[in-house]
Structure 1
Amino acid sequence: MTNGASKSYLGTAGELRAASELSLRGYVAHIPTVDEGADLWAVDHGNGIGKRIQVKTSAYPNLTKIEGFICYQISIDSAILASTDISLVIYIYAFGDWQCYVTTAPQLQALRGNSKSTTVLLVLDDQGRVTVGGKGGGLLDPYRDAWDAEFPVLEGTSALAYAA
């Protein structure tokens, strides 16, 4: 398997992982047949309101980007970064486990100091915190597993309600 193919599989796995979490929360998770800026749509079938989601997944740290730090580099289209109505789900594999960050494009841009670059650098410090690289370099940790902020559990349709 080539590195390109394994990255493609990794991206698909991240999208399916996010779709699974959304389904458990009671949303109808759609994977569009044509990618026009969203990897997923999460629809609250109670009110029909949907949200676009872009999923980014990285398991390949860049050890040379900033000496002494583990960095993950992801690319996000400029139209997505400029969007005010898209949620971002970012998965990175670090310290032997998957870490998930749920945020929005405007929140990520604020952490980046509103950088125009489509390359997003996630930097792990020696205490395991994740900072978004660039001017400002805000801490991403408040968005770790922050599903409830963007996609609260839907009463009556969530499988999580039954597991509690």
Structure 2
Amino acid sequence: MPGTQYIGKAGHLAVMGEFCLRGYNAAMPEIDKGDDVFVVNDASGAMWRLQVKTALGKAQKTSRAYQFRVRETAIQNAQTPELHFIFVLRKAGVWNFLVMDRSVLRAHVRNNSIGTPAAGGYRQFGMVLHDDGRLICSGTNMASHLEDWATWPKL
């Protein structure tokens, strides 16, 4: 099994590939200060900052369980341009993308108490992707955010 750096890089590249297929330019910054991928609409000049979190998960009877860690400040602090999160879940040889902007993730943390505080200023998210399509995080079904590419329609 590949190490976490390999898995993380694979997730970054899968996300970048999805954006390229949608007609956007995608690049990884040379210095990682929290932004994993930059996405640009070359025609309009619009740019988005992404934080990508990838997990292979562990098989269960009718689901797969994943763990993600995100810096609490990345969730709580607004930035310009705003940060978007993409949680990459690998299941049955297929990439699944949970896509949401920072304010949506922050609202889920505040209103639905998703995730748990972890050491070092992080928040830990345990997610379970069920065979029936539900994606449960701290009792909240996040399936509406799976493959939610509305911010980036195909060009």
Class of the TM-score when normalised by the shorter of the 2 chains: 0.7 to 0.9
Pick from 111, 134, 138 the counterpart of residue 129 of structure 1: 134
In the TM superposition, 1:62-141 aligns within 5 A as: 70-84=64-78, 85-112=82-109, 113-114=112-113, 117=117, 118-125=123-130, 127-133=132-138, 137-141=139-143
Answer yes or no: is the 8 Å Cα contact 2:57–2:64 preserved in 1.
no
RMSD: 2.4
Partner of 2:42: 45
One-letter amino acid matched to 2:102: A
Work out the CA distance in 2 between the residues paired with 1:83 and 1:153.
29
Aligned residues: 143
CA deviation map 1:27-62 (0-9, x unaligned): 111110011111001011122221000111100328
Partner of 2:5: 8
Question: Shift in Å at residue 142 of structure 1?
Answer: 0.9
Distance 1:29 1:120, change over 3 A: same
Partner of 1:27: 24
Work out the CA distance in 2 between the residues paired with 1:109 and 1:62.
28
CA deviation map 1:89-116 (0-9, x unaligned): 1111235533221111222233342557
Answer yes or no: is the 8 Å Cα contact 2:14–2:95 preserved in 1.
no
- Aligned to 1:76, the other structure's residue is in SS state strand
The structure 1 segments of at least 4 consecutive aligned residues displaced by more than 3 Å after TM superposition are 124-128
Work out the CA distance in 2 between the residues paired with 1:92 and 1:47.
30
Question: Shift in Å at residue 138 of structure 1?
Answer: 2.3
Structure 1 gap ranges (5+):
155-164
Based on CA coordinates, which of the two structures has the bigger radius of gyration?
1
Answer yes or no: is the 8 Å Cα contact 1:61–1:73 preserved in 2.
no
One-letter amino acid matched to 1:132: C
Structure 2 gap ranges (5+):
118-122
